[in-house]
Amino acid sequence: MTAADKHALPAADPRDAGTQLRAGLWQTINERYPGSMIRKESYVRQARLAKPLTECRLTLVSSCGVHLKTEKPLDVCHPFGDFRFMRVPSGAKHEELIIHQLKYPHDDADLDINVIFPIERLQELSQEGRLGGLTANFFSFIGYNMDPEKFERTLAAGIAEAVVEEEQADCALLAPA
Amino acid sequence: MGLIQRAIEARGVPTVSVTVARDVTEVIKVPRAVFLPWPMGHHFGAPFHRDLQRRVVLAALSLLETSNEPGTIFDLPIKWADVRREAQTLTEQGRKL
């Protein structure tokens, strides 16, 4: 330790500093799972709301692995990940849902699903008229996929198609886990 | 998740995401996002803290209306230490329900 180190201020605790809690996450994941994270060089064309939010039908997409308790969960053990997605009825309540995912802490979300999948907050906003409505189904999958090209070709395209064609959403909220 | 967001936006439907990993969101170049300095699995705050969950959702929805610049990342500078402090009683009460 040099004299300068002794006098250096300790790094601020990110919980108090308000900075990203897990710094350098992209690099960390790519070191652990090489090739799992990709980079994009340009943006897609920006879409615009065609009408006010009070007339828009919103959909919710989450990688939190939530689903109806009555349905079979996705495969949380597959080494490359499960590239399927599930539909969650937008009218579902916390007690009808369960999370199957191993890659992030969901003990708090098990107490209150809205911590990661704000389905009841969206139901309230829709009932209050802040939103025009919700799509009949929301979308859920497991955010652990080791093949980003396959992910883009299958899961991303599949959800996007269902959001636009089946659910006819006017806008989408995306909640990674 | 960024790839899904891009795929939806590319089909003409505006999207917004909520992220706790600003670096990941920047690299994948999503159309627009709200950043929170919170732990993974807690993108909308803490259990039973409805006001906070609602605040995050509304911030994201508002970005759908206001952002026209690709890659806009809106910071909601709510410290995690403050969230835990605020939510402690709510979470304890909720556990007993």
> Which of A119, A135, A120 is closest to A171 using CA atoms?
A135
Distance between CA atoms of residues A175 and B1, nearest Å: 8
| DSSP, residue by residue, A120-135 | HHHHHHHHTTSSSEE-
Q: What is the pLDDT along chain A (177 residues), one digit of tens a residue?
A: 555 555 666 678 899 988 998 888 888 888 888 888 888 999 999 999 999 999 999 999 999 999 999 999 998 888 888 999 999 999 999 999 999 988 888 999 999 999 999 999 999 999 999 999 999 999 999 988 889 999 999 999 999 999 999 999 999 999 998
Strand A137-140 to strand A86-89: parallel, antiparallel, or no bridges (unpaired)?
antiparallel
Question: Does residue A129 come out as left (phi exceeding 0), alpha (psi in the -120 to 50 range) or beta?
Answer: left
Per-residue pLDDT tens over the stretch B54-77: 999 999 999 999 997 999 999 998
Question: Across the interface, do B2 and A40 touch by the CB < 8 Å criterion?
Answer: yes
Neighbours of A136 (CB within 10 A): 14
Burial label for A5, CB within 10 Å (0-12, 13-18, 19+), is exposed
Total domains in the fold of chain A: 1
Question: Across the interface, do A176 and B45 touch by the CB < 8 Å criterion?
Answer: no
Question: Across the interface, do B17 and A38 touch by the CB < 8 Å criterion?
Answer: no
> Which of B16, B23, B44 is closest to A21 using CA atoms?
B23
Give me the interface pTM, i.e. the ipTM: 0.95
- The pLDDT, as a whole number, for residue B80 is 95
Radius of gyration for the alpha carbons in chain A, expressed in angstroms and rounded: 19
- The pLDDT, as a whole number, for residue A40 is 92
Work out whether the CA dihedral B83, A128, A140, A93 comes out positive or negative: positive
Distance between CA atoms of residues A107 and B42, nearest Å: 10
Distances (CA, A) of A88 to A40, A68, B71: 30, 7, 28
Total domains in the fold of chain B: 1
Residues spanned by the domain of A95 = 56-175
Residue of A nearest to B51 (CA): A121
Distance between CA atoms of residues A150 and A72, nearest Å: 23
Answer yes or no: is A167 within a domain. Answer: yes
Answer yes or no: is A130 within a domain. Answer: yes
> Which of B16, B35, B60, B75 is closest to A48 using CA atoms?
B16
Residue of B nearest to A148 (CA): B3
Residues spanned by the domain of B80 = 2-96
Residue of A nearest to B37 (CA): A20
- The pLDDT, as a whole number, for residue A169 is 98
> Which of A109, A126, A130 is closest to A175 using CA atoms?
A109
Per-residue pLDDT tens over the stretch A118-134: 999 999 999 999 999 99
User: What residues of chain B lie within 8 A of the CB of A13, using their CB?
Assistant: 81
